[in-house]
Structure 1
Amino acid sequence: MPISSVEKDLDALTMTIVAEFPVPVRRLWDAYADPRQIEKFWGPPGWPATFARHDMAPGGRSSYYMTGPGGERAGAYWEFLAVEPERSFEVLDGFAGPDGTPDPAMPTTRMTCTFEETGAGARVTTTTSFDSLDDLQKLLEMGMQEGMTAAMGQMDAVVADLASFAAGRAAELQILSDAQVRVSRVIRGPLRSVWDAHHDPALLRRWMLGPDGWTMPVCEVATKVGDSYRFEWEQEGGGGRFGFTGELLESLPPHRAVTTERMVGVEGPGTVNELTLTPVEGGTLLTVVITYPDPQTRDQVLATGMVDGQEMSYARLEAEVLTPA
């Protein structure tokens, strides 16, 4: 058990949990920054967490739910108030309803996680601040202390696992729900360069091509919220033309962009694609959460080899755009 102390201060309305691990600060930080990793411990045993969104940047937001043994769900969210990479982050921590919206009937707390080196590795100190003594007592009665300590007790195995989350691994697909998937990959390049490669037409034409033998004759990028984009590809020499178009819904450079997407010339609902970029050991963690209109559409798209095509593009991005000549 990595937890070294739990202290409640009823006068200051705080609860502080200290945990220590035999790993560098960078490894401990990445366990919180990477949704694939935080899902493995942020939820007590028997109540695993699923993060449908995780933007670890000032102004960012996390939306997640924990699933109980009987399939019941408990939703929650974080609003990131401050982020100092490898040092600390501060969030508003609240409960959410089934649709992900905040639950006004439940207390909201402020949580700060501070990371520091120790002689044997790294320490994370989690301080939760409550608005009132009533809120503190209510959440403690609901099992908040036991839940957090049990969840953090699972972190040893996560931070010890280096291979599963390292740079150099191919794009990974995870099914989040009946209509939602997440594609993740560590891109070996700095955050701003990876962001620019997704928003500069000249760079996009060099890497976003899928299998070899394709070109990108149309590359119109949306630069402001409300703008439309249009990408079209064709085989070298002509033929096989297809494309996608959509609208930019949200933009938080260089961390997050949300767009709609539908195939050019095809009627009906499309998808919502949420791109998140997060600095991690070895480069930039790229995650794309895709929401489909229904499970059937999701399965049809995945059966086309979509993730394999994305991996070919990401490998080209590293080799031909981000690697110095």
Structure 2
Amino acid sequence: MPVTDVTTDPEALTLTLTADFAAPVERLWEAFTDPRQLERFWGPPGYPATFTEFDLTAGGRARYHMTSPKGEEFHGVWEFLEIDGPRTFTALDSFADADGTPLAEMPTSRMVFAFDQTSTGSRLVNTTYFDSAEALEKVVAMGAVEGATMAINQLDRVLDGLRAYAAGKGTQTEILDDTHVRITRLIEGPIDLVWRAHEEPELVQQWLLGPDGWRMSVCEIDGSVGGKYRYQWEPLEGTEGETFGFDGETLLTEAPHRAVTTEHMTGTEFPSTLNDLNLYEEDGATLITLLIEYPDKETRDIVLATGMTDGMEASYGRLEGVLAGV
């Protein structure tokens, strides 16, 4: 992971994040100063950022919001103070309302981003200065250390480009914390087709099958917010296993980029998971990112032990074949 250290200093009133990248300083600078690239990693998993304003000049400002899996928006605003590209820029960072007005009850901090060349690429040192120990403690208590770490650890895929980042890796499963797992898979095909293949039952039934020897006997999907879905699988003749299924509800949809659903094992009292699907296209290929939130660590470990990753890889392999024929 790129992030090598995150340190809080209650005497200096600072929070400092350090990360190393196998990319030149100029490429790192580009990622932080192009809003379309910045919003691909600035929000931590489950809270992607959308920049609606970005004026990279002294006295200019940037506005953004992060959207939770349930559709809640958390707004922020930067006021740029100093810019010395491609080496450093400084900005005031404030929590804000939906109109971009800083919230008086929340702390405003001064962020300094410094980009330096290393023997293997470049290093980011992001130092945030606070006005008081109380302000520092408040932001840390809100999860700033964990959120910043997970956000910046997403930057590699932006710097490398999707094909280089995902080449030969297949389906990747990352444990982010006790209750969150991130699954990624690069699919050869445009985002619109990948989205359709997740939303249209006649396409879903062709690929979402897991290991060989199973068929999807029920596929009902209402992809609108509040809509329900139901899947059921049954073994083909000669395959051992019992019929099972999942049901859930759509909480958020932003076609063709994001869909958030609950997932519950039909006919059981098991708690639901929260599944946050994100799609991003680059050079004719689409990166599928599925963030799964489990109710607890025990449930997470039970599910991972079922061979979920292998089953998903088999399904995603079929998906590419389906897309080639659409």
- Structure 2 CA distance for aligned equivalents of residues 253 and 162 of structure 1: 20
Instruction: Supply the distance in 2 between the matched residues of 1:95 and 1:228 (Cα, whole angstroms).
Output: 25
Residue aligning to 2:114: 149
Separation of aligned partners in 1, 2:325 and 2:203: 14
Alignment correspondent of 1:194: 194
**Contact 2:87–2:114 at 8 Å: present in 1 too?**
no
Q: Does 1:260 align with 2:262?
A: yes
Partner of 2:145: none
SS of 2:278's partner is: strand
Instruction: Quickly say closer, same or farther: Cα 1:95–1:223, change in 2 above 3 A.
Output: closer
Q: Distance in 1 between matches of 2:307 and 2:36?
A: 29
Give the 3-state SS of the residue equivalent to 1:317 in structure 2.
helix
Structure 1 counterpart SS, 2:216: strand
Shift of 1:268: 3.4
The answer (yes or no) to whether the contact 2:197–2:204 under 8 Å persists in 1 is: yes
Residue matched to 1:284: 286
Number of the residue aligned with 2:51: 80
Deviations 1:36-81 (A, max 9, x none): xx4xxx7xxxxxxx82225xxxxxxx2xxxxxxxxxxxxxxx3432
Match of 2:218 in 1: 218
The alignment partner of 1:203 has SS state of helix
Given the superposition, is the C-alpha separation of residues 127 and 315 from structure 1 closer, same or farther in structure 2, using an over 3 Å criterion?
A: farther
Shift of residue 192 of structure 1? 0.3
Question: Is 1:322 matched with 2:318?
Answer: no
For residues 161 and 266 of structure 1, the distance between their equivalents in structure 2, rounded to whole angstroms, comes to 42
Alignment deviations for residues 218-270 of structure 1 (CA, whole Å, 9 cap, x no partner): 00012311111100001113862100001111111111101001111110311
Asked if the contact 1:210/1:310 (under 8 Å) is kept, the reply is: yes
Amino acid in structure 2 at the alignment position of 1:269: P
Q: What are the superposed Cα offsets for residues 153-179 of structure 1, whole Å, 9 maximum, x if unpaired?
A: 437x94368876135531111111111
Q: Secondary structure of 1:53's partner? A: coil
SS in 2 for 1:144: strand
Verify the 8 A CA contact 2:35 2:51 in the aligned structure 1. no
Unaligned runs of 5+ in 1: 1-18, 43-49, 55-61, 63-77, 84-89, 112-122
Distance 1:143 1:124, change over 3 A: closer
1:269 pairs, out of 260, 271, 284, with: 271
Go from structure 1 to structure 2 and tell me whether the alpha carbon gap of 1:227 and 1:125 turns closer, same or farther (over 3 Å shift): farther
- Give 1:155-234 correspondences, 5 Å limit: 158=156, 159=159, 165-234=165-234
For residue 109 of structure 1, report the CA deviation from its aligned partner: 2.2
What is the count of residue pairs matched by the alignment? 240
Aligned residue in 2 for 1:52: 45
Structure 1 counterpart SS, 2:319: helix
Q: Hey, what's the Cα distance between the residues in 1 that align with 2:244 and 2:286? A: 29
Equivalent residues of 1:167, 1:283 under 8 A apart = no
Aligned-residue offset at 1:210: 0.7
**How much does 1:20 deviate?**
2.3
Conserved in 1, the CA contact under 8 Å of 2:173 and 2:182? Answer: yes
TM norm structure 1: 0.61
Q: Aligned-residue CA RMSD in angstroms? A: 4.3
Residue pair 2:88, 2:114 contacting (<8 A) in 1 also: no
Indicate if the aligned counterparts of 1:278 and 1:284 stay in contact, CA closer than 8 A.
yes
Aligned to 1:20: 26
Q: Residues of 2 paired with 1:212 and 1:234: CA distance?
A: 11
**Helix, strand or coil at the partner of 2:196:** helix
User: Which secondary structure state, in structure 1, belongs to the residue aligned with residue 212 of structure 2?
Assistant: coil
Aligned mates of 1:226, 1:213 — CA distance in 2 = 33
Distance in 2 (CA, whole Å) between partners of 1:124 and 1:253 is 37
> CA, structure 1 residues 277+102, in 2 after alignment: closer, same or farther (shift >3 Å)?
closer
Counterparts in 2 of 1:176 and 1:169: CA distance versus 1, 3 Å: same
- Alpha-carbon separation, structure 2, partners of 1:150 and 1:263: 47
TM-score relative to the length of structure 2: 0.60
- Of 102, 109, 122, 2:78 maps to 109
Q: Is residue 92 from structure 1 mapped to residue 94 from structure 2 by the alignment?
A: no
Change (3 A) 1:161 1:224: closer
**CA pair 92-206 structure 1, distance change in 2 beyond 3 A:** same
Whole-Å separation in 2 of the counterparts to 1:194 and 1:93: 27
* Aligned equivalents of 2:222, 2:284: Cα separation in 1: 29
Report the alpha carbon displacement of residue 21 of structure 1 after superposing the two structures with TM. 3.4
Q: What SS does structure 2 have at the residue aligned with 1:195?
A: helix
Q: Which amino acid aligns with 1:52?
A: P
